[in-house]
């Protein structure tokens, strides 16, 4: 269960971190550093009332930009130049004669919401797509925010634009007439209660006003959305994704229904001691029901006692076969990861002549823990710890037989006081004298109630020595799971400082994760995931990003 949730929530993680990262950049006058856990936000975005449920994307930052400057001060390493809000807004304020520090900072409040309201304003793909964008800024000083709007349009008029004022649903919408009659307007504004609304077309504002007035049309009126945000307290940011609509906008040629059970994703970002927690919910499509699943674990599994403390990646839970099935389901629609996973399984099945999921994983239904070790070549060593059972013993016997048939030698020896079985290929070596050299393909042993399988003698030795200084009792791991509540489905832990370089190297598209320009990515030390099961309509879970330094 945790793996499927991870696959879907990773996209939310990136959106949330990017949204928060852009807003957390400091102003030119840095405030004193505030402990991360003391920076407070709001429970939910008020501007969600302007955004329809069918909108592809909504990102809301629920803290004043100046308050988030404290996060920037904490995260930016010494010698790295902070990126100011003035710099960030320079592009979209270009040619307006306005600046953030002079015209926006004095009145902007504790909410900034950006939404893609539609993939195509006129819903006619034959004349090209024009997405609708809505920016809602809360105001703490209505007089100053009104002066900002007036100055915005006065500068437009001075630049030669003709202005149009339209009353719609009791609100004045201001826009400009392009000099080219074939061009559409590119800017419109309205003030509604304590919000200044800016859009790239007056239709966007009209739709926003309609959404407020029609019952159950807005995201804010969605009962599942309300239930998901009812717990967890104040948040720094909230992200809402309508999956089918976002895919249709970003990848028009993609399968129109790659996620038949999934309709939307919701994530809230809150601060806690040492980092950020992203709480997420995945909602099922109308008429679809998710299989009911209750979280089983009230404490980390005992299999973690054999996981070495220095592990770079650790997954632990119950029923590995079910997790495998959930992974396949979660990757549906993600073509490249699906192909990579398929080739990985195919290579092993060809090598061993076995159906990996059915012949091996289907028998691993108890506790499990899997770890990658920070070895050279990069992360080539791994350890699997699972509960012993008669079925698992039969699987190992079958593997012994398959290895023997394929010319792999089967050997038994003692490592310390522990009896070990090894699969190895023998090669003659002539220097300095003729002898046989064994290349270990894998080793396994049983210890107490657990069976340990490792990729090498080095990995097995680390696992056998782990109980003295295990991952389970490590202060870093305990810190990484501290924000989560129980019961849950287990944990997936990533030592991000160790992994991000290897990930960027293998996937060039993700090279930005090593760039010093993305502090909320590069200054994260560990990332931990968990999930809390699901009811018939939604699945929930959390991600914790521990911030170092």
Please spell the DSSP secondary structure of 286-350, one letter per residue: TT--PPPB---BSS--GGGGGSBTT-SEEEEEE-HHHHHHHHHHHTTT-HHHHHHHHHHHHHHHH
**Rounded Cα–Cα distance for residues 361 and 326 (Å):** 13
Helix (H) or strand (E) holding 134: strand 132-139
**Rounded Cα–Cα distance for residues 84 and 88 (Å):** 6
Length of the chain: 549
pLDDT (0 to 100) of residue 228: 86
Whether 208 has a pLDDT exceeding 60, the answer reads yes
Whether 417 has a pLDDT exceeding 90, the answer reads no
**Rounded Cα–Cα distance for residues 104 and 91 (Å):** 15
- Smallest CA-to-CA distance from 520 within 144, 196, 77, 123 is with 77
Q: List, for residues 371-408, the tens digit of each pLDDT value.
A: 988 876 666 788 989 999 888 888 888 888 888 887 88
**Rounded Cα–Cα distance for residues 249 and 290 (Å):** 26
Specify whether the CB–CB gap between 310 and 371 falls below 8 A. no
**Rounded Cα–Cα distance for residues 217 and 209 (Å):** 11
pTM above 0.75, yes or no: yes
DSSP secondary structure string, 496-535?
HHHHHHHHHHH-GGGGGGG-TT-HHHHTEEEEEEEEEEE-
pLDDT (0 to 100) of residue 512: 56
Alpha helices in 100-141 (DSSP H): 100-103
Q: Tell me the two tokens of residue 129.
A: 């797509």
60-84 mean pLDDT: 59
Helix (H) or strand (E) holding 212: helix 202-213
DSSP 235: B
Whether 340 has a pLDDT exceeding 90, the answer reads no
Q: Is the peptide bond between 432 and the residue preceding it cis, with omega within 30 degrees of 0?
A: yes
| Distances in whole angstroms, Cα of residue 113 to Cα of each of 18, 110, 152, 192, 233 | 14, 10, 19, 14, 19
Higher pLDDT: 347 or 22? It is 347
Whether 236 has a pLDDT exceeding 90, the answer reads no
Q: How confident is the model at residue 231 (pLDDT cuts 50, 70, 90)?
A: confident
Helices 65-75 & 2-23, crossing angle to 10 degrees? 110
Torsion of CA 238, 241, 242, 244, to 10 degrees: -170
Whether 183 has a pLDDT exceeding 80, the answer reads no
- Smallest CA-to-CA distance from 293 within 484, 490, 530, 539 is with 539
Place of tokens 């024009």: 130
249-261 mean pLDDT: 61
Residue ranges of E strands in 169-320: 171-177, 188-192, 195-199, 237-242, 262-272, 275-284, 313-318
Helix (H) or strand (E) holding 113: strand 108-118
102-119 mean pLDDT: 90
Q: Which residues pair with 123 in a beta bridge?
A: none
pLDDT (0 to 100) of residue 16: 40
Q: Which residues pair with 531 in a beta bridge?
A: 541
Q: List, for residues 455-498, the tens digit of each pLDDT value.
A: 888 999 999 999 988 898 889 999 999 999 999 999 999 888 88
């Amino acid at each position: 269960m945790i793996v499927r949730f991870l696959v879907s929530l990773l996209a939310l993680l990136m959106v949330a971190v990017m949204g928060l990262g852009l807003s957390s950049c400091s102003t030119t006058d840095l405030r004193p550093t505030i402990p991360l856990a003391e920076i407070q936000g709001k429970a939910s975005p008020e501007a969600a009332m302007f955004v329809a449920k069918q909108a592809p994307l909504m990102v809301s930052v629920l803290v004043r930009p100046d308050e988030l400057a404290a996060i920037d001060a904490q995260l930016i390493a010494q010698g790295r130049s902070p990126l100011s809000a003035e710099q960030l807004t320079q592009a979209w304020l270009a040619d307006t004669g306005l600046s953030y520090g002079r015209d926006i900072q004095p009145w902007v409040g504790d909410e900034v919401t950006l939404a893609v309201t539609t993939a195509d304003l006129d819903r006619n793909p034959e004349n090209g797509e024009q997405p609708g964008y809505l920016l809602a800024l809360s105001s703490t000083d209505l007089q100053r925010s009104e002066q900002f709007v007036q100055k915005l349009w006065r500068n437009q008029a001075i630049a030669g634009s003709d202005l149009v004022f339209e009353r719609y649903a009791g609100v004045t919408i201001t826009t400009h007439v392009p000099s080219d009659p074939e061009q559409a307007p590119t800017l419109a504004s309205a003030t509604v209660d304590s919000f200044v609304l800016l859009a790239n077309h007056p239709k966007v504002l009209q739709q926003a006003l309609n959404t407020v007035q029609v019952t159950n049309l807005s995201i804010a009126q969605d009962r599942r959305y309300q239930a998901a945000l009812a717990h967890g307290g104040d948040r720094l940011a909230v992200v809402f994704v309508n999956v089918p609509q976002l895919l249709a906008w970003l990848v028009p040629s993609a399968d129109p229904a790659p996620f038949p059970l999934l309709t939307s994703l919701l994530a809230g970002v809150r601060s806690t001691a040492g980092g950020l927690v992203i709480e997420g919910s995945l909602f099922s499509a109308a008429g679809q029901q998710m299989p009911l699943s209750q979280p089983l674990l009230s404490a980390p599994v005992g299999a973690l006692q054999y996981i070495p403390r220095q592990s770079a990646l650790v997954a632990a839970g119950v029923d590995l076969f079910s997790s495998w099935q959930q992974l396949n389901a979660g990757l549906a629609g993600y073509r490249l990861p699906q192909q990579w996973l398929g080739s990985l399984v195919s290579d092993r099945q060809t090598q061993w002549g076995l159906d990996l999921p059915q012949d091996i994983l289907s028998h691993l239904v108890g506790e499990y823990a899997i770890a990658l070790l920070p070895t050279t070549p990069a992360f080539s060593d791994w350890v699997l710890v699972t509960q012993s059972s008669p079925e698992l013993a039969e699987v190992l016997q079958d593997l012994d037989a398959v290895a023997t048939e394929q010319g792999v030698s089967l050997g038994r020896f003692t490592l310390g006081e522990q009896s070990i079985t090894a699969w190895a290929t023998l090669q003659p070596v002539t220097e300095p004298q003729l002898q046989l050299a064994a290349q270990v393909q894998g080793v396994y042993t049983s210890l107490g109630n657990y069976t340990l399988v490792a990729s090498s003698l080095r990995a097995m030795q680390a696992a056998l020595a782990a109980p003295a200084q295990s991952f389970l009792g490590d202060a870093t791991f305990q810190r990484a799971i501290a924000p989560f509540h129980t019961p849950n489905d287990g944990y997936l832990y990533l030592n991000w400082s160790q992994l991000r370089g290897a990930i960027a190297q293998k996937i060039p598209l993700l090279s930005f994760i090593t760039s010093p320009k993305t502090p909320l990515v590069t200054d994260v030390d560990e990332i931990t995931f968990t999930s809390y099961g699901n009811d018939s309509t939604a699945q929930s879970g959390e991600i914790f990003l521990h911030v170092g330094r």
